Amino acid sequence: MGADDPESSVCAAHALAHRLRVELDVLADGRGLDTAAGYGPWPALLRWALYGSVPVADRFDSAPHTAGWSPVPEGAR
């Protein structure tokens, strides 16, 4: 997030990141980090938000790999 983001305060962003158990990076001279400001789109973030998985790309291989939560099959508990 940008420190001068008009949509959210840094304090609110930290609270949200804590609840989601994710890291937060704050750009000191940044404003909103959206497509209107020239950032994104971020398909990895959308996939995480919709499906709870993160596509991981090896830096030597451009093909994405999915790493994330897997449900426990019924009866396996």
Secondary structure (DSSP) of the chain: -BTT-TT--HHHHHHHHHHHT-----BTT----SGGGT----HHHHHHHHHSEEEEE-TT--SEEEEE--PPPTT--
pLDDT in tens, 24-72: 888 888 787 778 878 777 777 788 788 877 666 655 555 555 555 556 6
Q: How far is CA 68 from CA 10, 32, 44, 59, in A?
A: 27, 28, 12, 18
The answer to whether residue 48 is domain-embedded is yes
**Same domain assignment for residues 32 and 63:** no
The answer to whether residue 75 is domain-embedded is no
**Same domain assignment for residues 30 and 52:** no
pLDDT of residue 15: 93
**Same domain assignment for residues 22 and 33:** yes
Number of compact structural domains in the chain: 2
